[in-house]
A and B are shown apart, each in its own frame.
Chain A
Amino acid sequence: MEMILSKNWNVPDQKKIDVAIKNGAYASLKKIFKMKREEVIEEVKNSGLRGRGGAGFATGLKWTFIPKENLSSGRQDKKPVYLINNLDESEPGTFKDRAIVEKDPHMMIEGMIIAAYAIGSHTAYIYIRGEYYKQWEIIEEALQEARKKGFLGKNILGSGFDLDIYQHRGAGAYICGEETALLSSLEGGRGYPRIKPPFPAIAGAWGCPTIVNNTETLANLPFILNEGAAAYKKFGTEKSPGTKLMSASGHINKPGVYEVEMGLPIRTFIEEHLGGVWKNHKLKAVVPGGSSFAPLTAEEAWATNLDFESCAAAGTSLGSGGFYVMDETTCMVRLLCFTSKFYAHESCGQCTPCREGTGWVDQVIKRIEKGHGRERDLQLLQDVCKNMMNGRTICVFADAAAMPVLGFLKKFGKEFEEHVKLGRCPHTVSLRGA
């Protein structure tokens, strides 16, 4: 099926602006400059687009949180408004924003122009993770091309609207994907999250109204403005309209980035798109939304669809679409060691429950995996995790670190008990399988 984001991914040289324009890039600009800002926001609201950065928050609604005096057309802006494209993409399992940049960067830039126009922003930043160096180069080139064509800069296409877009490179810190940590990092400091409220829409970068949107969210905008909200809503489910880019990895035959219609059954995704579980093995578990969420057992996975509601109902989240698959040979305790190592490494250290909790969890799980676990360790893990959740910390990183632990314990608790009882890992093969 002709999809929204990936439709030109196979076109040779789609990165070049002339090729992209031939395929419709920047067409929406003529249309939006004839609309009022409010009308653009209304269209996005009507499309039902929800943020693709992990939380699934309604995009159009978020934009309306910008203070009225900044939003209304025609009036003198009170404070500058900033738009930020969150291209930090560091959630283990997620590599879809990278695909957008590599295959069709102009779609992302066009989306940023639409968003900036809608919220009245004249300076926008792309916060790109430091490791994405090649991608940074691709974007630099694409921005230059767009400037030359008059899609960026002063008085874009004679509309009177000005916009500059700059890239800001991160330097290796997962937490900088969290929007307020991102702002701290953008301003030239440690990537420390800030207490909300105030939300960035009220007081974000340099204390000014700021909207942070994920790259994939922004890339959806050209379609919505070109084809209209109704056309967008034809894709997906009622509450999760559109498509989702899924980054698929782990024990499958065909890993990669796939654009799927929201609501696609996980079974269809694995069997038809991903070529099934590798080596003819059976499925053991799936994490559909990135490492911050609970796994689904095979049975649960077969009954779940790829949309926000269905994943939430199954006790996990569609998150950022970091979909990874574990086959029957996988040692879940060992796998969880890798997850807890990640969170212990990436905690920014500001809040005690998170800094200490992620460290403890990591140590205890390692101990169990090595066969030195004690019976009371399983309870200890639960207690530490519960103490990390539900608003005890500045940001929800701590919840993100605790959720997978609780999820793995709940669904594969037997394996943890077995490790403790045997005093060793009962598995003889590595995580790569036999």
Chain B
Amino acid sequence: MSFEFTKENLEKFEETLKRYPQKRAALLPALWLVQEQQGWISPESMETLAKLLGLTPAYIYETATFYTMYNMKPIGRHHIQVCNSVCCCLRGSEETVGYLKKKLEIEVGESTQDGRFHLSTVECLGSCGTAPMMQIDNDYHEDLTEEKIDQILEKLK
């Protein structure tokens, strides 16, 4: 399956190019656009970006894989990222991870069978004062309790 930006995203991409003195700098924003459009960074999308930016697909792969937020594989519809870093652990993030594993019946790094959720643990998200916390897609959910987690997941289809 080849990859093309939607018309809207192509415009956004071209807008981004104007912000930098060199084309290559638009790579991170372009990868974000790809991920927004199809949820992950497919090999085909890297080939398309390579043409648009005058880079090699290998360079793009090498760069994208350096960063943890680009999904190099398709994942569940909703990406649950629980912070299990230094400060969150002081306020029970391990219990939060344990609860989610049990509730979703998956291990960290796995997706639910129905493809609805993918569970990850991540390092500090800048939310230590409201720990335990998780990020689902673009949203932060803070001061978590088991009831709160139930309610939040309930709403996500």
Interface residues of A (CB under 8 A from B): 80, 89-95, 97-98, 129-134, 164, 166, 168-174, 185-191, 206, 247-251, 255-257, 291, 322, 324-326, 330, 335, 338-339, 342, 345-346, 348, 430-432
Compute how far the CA of A90 lies from the CA of B85 in the bound complex, rounded to whole angstroms: 11
Who on chain A is nearest to B59 by CB? A189
14 new A-B contacts, CB < 8 A, other than A95-B126, A431-B89, are: A92-B124, A95-B129, A168-B29, A171-B67, A172-B70, A255-B128, A255-B130, A335-B90, A338-B89, A342-B86, A346-B123, A430-B94, A431-B94, A432-B94
Residues in chain B near residue A291, CB distance under 8 A: 86-87, 124
Residues in chain B near residue A322, CB distance under 8 A: 87, 128
Question: Are B28 and A168 touching (Cβ within 8 A)?
Answer: yes
Contact (A335, B86) CB under 8 Å given A90-B124, A173-B66: yes
Question: Are A134 and B28 touching (Cβ within 8 A)?
Answer: no
Compute how far the CA of A89 lies from the CA of B128 in the bound complex, rounded to whole angstroms: 12
A–B Cβ pairs within 8 angstroms, 7 of them: A94-B126, A188-B25, A189-B24, A255-B129, A342-B123, A345-B123, A346-B123
Interface residues of B (CB under 8 A from A): 19, 21-22, 24-29, 31-32, 53, 62-63, 66-70, 84-87, 89-92, 94-95, 122-131, 135, 138-140
Contact (A171, B70) CB under 8 Å given A188-B24, A190-B62: yes
Residues in chain B near residue A247, CB distance under 8 A: 128-129
> Nearest chain A CB to B100's CB is how many angstroms away?
16
Question: Are B28 and A249 touching (Cβ within 8 A)?
Answer: no
Shortest 7 CB-CB contacts between residues of A and residues of B = A171-B67, A172-B69, A172-B68, A249-B128, A188-B27, A188-B24, A255-B129
Who on chain B is nearest to A334 by CB? B89
> Nearest chain B CB to A415's CB is how many angstroms away?
16
| Residue from the set A186, A322, A330, A431 with the largest chain B CB neighbour count within 10 Å | A431
Question: Are A249 and B89 touching (Cβ within 8 A)?
Answer: no
Q: Pick the contact of B87 from A92, A129, A256, A346 — CB < 8 Å? A: A92
Question: Are A166 and B91 touching (Cβ within 8 A)?
Answer: no
Residues in chain B near residue A185, CB distance under 8 A: 28
Residues in chain A near residue B127, CB distance under 8 A: 95, 98
> Nearest chain A CB to B65's CB is how many angstroms away?
9
Residues in chain A near residue B67, CB distance under 8 A: 130, 170-173, 191
Question: Are B69 and A171 touching (Cβ within 8 A)?
Answer: yes
> Nearest chain B CB to A258's CB is how many angstroms away?
10
Question: Are A188 and B129 touching (Cβ within 8 A)?
Answer: no
Question: Are A432 and B86 touching (Cβ within 8 A)?
Answer: no
Residues in chain B near residue A250, CB distance under 8 A: 87, 90-91, 128
Question: Are A187 and B25 touching (Cβ within 8 A)?
Answer: yes
Question: Are A249 and B69 touching (Cβ within 8 A)?
Answer: no
Residues in chain A near residue B28, CB distance under 8 A: 168-171, 185, 188
> Nearest chain A CB to B60's CB is how many angstroms away?
9
Residues in chain B near residue A348, CB distance under 8 A: 66
Question: Are B92 and A430 touching (Cβ within 8 A)?
Answer: yes
Residues in chain A near residue B125, CB distance under 8 A: 131
Q: Pick the contact of B128 from A131, A134, A324, A342 — CB < 8 Å? A: A324
Who on chain B is nearest to A165 by CB? B19
